[in-house]
């Protein structure tokens, strides 16, 4: 199993380009199921999760062509609308085929995602929404079976803010009969990116980016071309890596506008962050002090602080001056990185969904284990400032969400190597 070897103590400096967003690309790839015509997507990152989604779509009869960062998908003739357990279990986002398949084919059979390292993560809200749109939904032998000759527009209310739930129901509603209103909708920028792609395919959607999204169903959608938005979590992760090393880093092809809450916290920690923007170019520049000040965070749906940045902020707080309180309100079991950070010498106490991080003067390199995608990122960030060598084991998690990670860190002057 691959490992990452990190020699700590180097200040990051230089410039790298941020990739397209995994969490925008995954639902947008599924949008191809809504039309017989080709969907051309640019800025698609080369990540393991993207490969899994393309495999799932290809298995259903979608023609997939991939050339660098461009992916062309054509779902002219679909086979069985089935997403098998073998693929869904490796990636929860596979459930995003459910809405488009029922809308286009009138039926779908999609495996339940099952448990995952960061919590139970059920899909009851996706199911409840489809039922409200008239679908007959049963769960049988671990599969969601949904049927509806034509979905009907409805007023939908999700019990909690769910990102993929909102995306699934928004896609389903595009081909429904009449108007659908999704209340308590997720406002994440990735939901907006999906809506923009669907609109360019002919969908009638308003309100994406607010908590009420209205979709007027149409008889069919057509082909389109769309560029995937930059990855705000990758952006935030490199900002944290620069911050913790007292670095001076420029990130291109990304925008601070997608991560105000993260940028604010890094500024509170003492960093100087500036944005550059012209019609054809965007970048963020961070200059960090030699030691950060501790910053407390509380995760919540967008535009509040993202749960996908919580682990990285635990790592920077581990070596900051002062004490930080970290509250995780989205997932019930998302502190597994704390134990690994403690192996590097971090002083962290966990009580339920709250972590108290007392900054220490230095961390020491050690062998640690990655438990999920963002936990892995936090261990790298800690390794960059730890004395000596840190070995991060089980980095297959990282390859699910960070494109060319060693190359990007190398370009910033870090000593990060991959080993078998
Ligand atoms: C998405 C992101 C993930 C991010 C998360 C929260 C993608 C592919 N993944 O995941 O990186 O960490 O948003 O920002 O975009 N819930 C239910 N029932 C449901 C749906 C959700 O109880 O039917 C709960 C979940 O268990 C969780 C909360 O709602 O506690 C939010 O989950 P959700 O927003 O759905 O996360 P994902 O869309 O899976």
| 296-337 pLDDT tens trace | 999 999 999 999 999 999 999 999 999 999 999 999 889 999
Judge if the beta carbon of residue 257 lies within 6 A of ligand 1: no
Instruction: Quote the pLDDT of residue 120.
Output: 55
Higher pLDDT, 330 or 113: 330
Residue 378 CA to residue 265 CA, distance in Å, equals: 16
Distance (angstroms) between ligand 1 centre and the Cα of 165 equals 8
Which H or E element spans position 161? Answer: none
Could you report the per-residue pLDDT of 11-21, keeping only the tens digit for each?
A: 999 999 999 99
**Taking the CB of residue 163, how many other CB atoms lie within 10 A of it?**
20
pTM for the structure as a whole: 0.97
What are the distances in angstroms from CA 243 to CA 6, 298, 322, 348, 355? Answer: 17, 19, 16, 20, 21
**Atom 25, ligand 1: which residue's CA is nearest?**
121
Determine the distance separating the centroid of ligand 1 and the alpha carbon of 296, expressed in angstroms. Answer: 23
pLDDT single digits (tens) 188-235: 999 999 999 999 999 999 999 999 999 999 999 999 999 999 999 999
Q: How would you write 1-61 as a 3-class SS string?
A: CCEEEEECCCCCEEEEECCECHHHHHHHHHHHHHCCCCEEEECCCCCHHHHHHHHHHHHCC
Q: What residue's CA is closest to ligand 1, atom 31? A: 162
Measured in angstroms, how far is the CA atom of residue 126 from the centroid of ligand 1? 11
Closest residue to atom 9 of ligand 1, CA basis: 23
- Which residue blocks in 245-331 are alpha helix, DSSP H? 260-268, 310-318
Q: Is 249 exposed, middle or buried (0-12, 13-18, 19+ CB in 10 A)?
A: buried
Write the CB contacts of 102 (distance below 8 Å, at least 6 apart in sequence).
Answer: 108, 130, 135, 146, 147, 148, 151, 172
Q: Kindly report, residue by residue over 351-364, the tens digit of the pLDDT.
A: 999 999 999 999 99
Q: Which of 390, 261, 256 is CA-nearest to residue 318?
A: 390
Q: Evaluate: CB of 372 within 6 angstroms of ligand 1.
A: no
Please tell me the least confidently modeled range out of 66-70, 332-336, 339-343, 387-391.
332-336
Q: Which among 32, 116, 174, 271 is annotated as catalytic?
A: 116
Q: Is 116 a catalytic residue?
A: yes
- 226-243 in b/e form (b: 16+ CB < 10 A) is bbbbbbbbbbbbbbbbbb
Q: Quick check: 106 pLDDT over 60?
A: yes
Whether 169 is in the pocket of ligand 1, judged by its Cβ within 6 Å, is: no
| Per-chain mean pLDDT for the chain | 95
Protein residue whose Cα sits closest to atom 5 of ligand 1: 163
């Amino acid at each position: 199993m691959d490992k990452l070897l990190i020699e700590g103590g180097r200040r990051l400096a230089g410039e790298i380009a941020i990739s397209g967003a995994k969490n925008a690309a995954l639902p947008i790839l599924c949008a191809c199921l809504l039309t017989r015509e080709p969907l051309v997507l640019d800025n698609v990152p080369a990540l393991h999760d993207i490969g899994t989604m393309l495999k799932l779509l290809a298995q259903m009869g979608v023609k997939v062509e991939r050339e660098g960062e461009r992916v062309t998908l054509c779902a002219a003739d679909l086979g069985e609308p089935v997403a098998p357990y073998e693929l869904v279990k490796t990636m929860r986002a596979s459930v995003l085929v459910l809405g488009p398949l029922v809308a286009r084919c009138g039926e779908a059979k999609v495996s339940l995602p099952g448990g995952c390292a960061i919590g139970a993560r059920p899909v009851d809200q996706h199911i409840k929404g489809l039922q409200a749109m008239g679908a007959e939904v049963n769960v049988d032998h671990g599969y969601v079976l949904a049927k509806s000759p034509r979905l009907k527009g409805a007023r939908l209310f999700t019990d909690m803010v769910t990102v993929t739930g909102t995306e699934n129901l928004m896609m389903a509603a595009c081909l429904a009969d009449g108007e659908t209103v999704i209340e308590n909708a997720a406002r994440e920028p990735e939901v907006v990116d999906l809506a923009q792609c669907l609109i360019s395919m002919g969908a009638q959607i308003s309100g994406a980016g607010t908590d009420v999204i209205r979709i007027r169903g149409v008889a069919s959608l057509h082909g389109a071309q769309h560029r995937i938005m930059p990855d705000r979590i990758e952006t935030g992760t490199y900002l944290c890596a620069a911050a913790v090393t007292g670095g001076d880093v420029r990130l291109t092809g990304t925008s601070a506008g997608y991560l105000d809450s993260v940028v604010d916290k890094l500024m509170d920690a003492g960093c100087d962050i500036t944005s550059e923007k012209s019609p054809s170019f965007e970048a963020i520049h961070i200059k960090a002090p030699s030691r950060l000040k501790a910053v407390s965070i509380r995760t919540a749906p967008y535009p509040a602080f993202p749960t996908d940045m919580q682990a990285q902020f635990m790592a920077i707080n581990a070596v900051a001056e002062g004490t930080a309180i970290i509250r995780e309100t989205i997932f019930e079991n998302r502190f597994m990185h704390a134990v690994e950070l403690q192996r590097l010498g971090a002083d962290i106490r966990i009580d339920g969904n709250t972590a108290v991080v007392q900054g220490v003067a230095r961390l020491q390199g050690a062998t640690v284990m990655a438990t999920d995608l963002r936990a892995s990122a936090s261990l790298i960030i800690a390794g960059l400032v730890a004395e000596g060598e840190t070995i991060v084991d089980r980095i297959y998690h990282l390859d699910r969400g960070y494109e060319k990670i060693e190359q990007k860190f190398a370009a910033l002057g870090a000593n990060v190597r991959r080993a078998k």
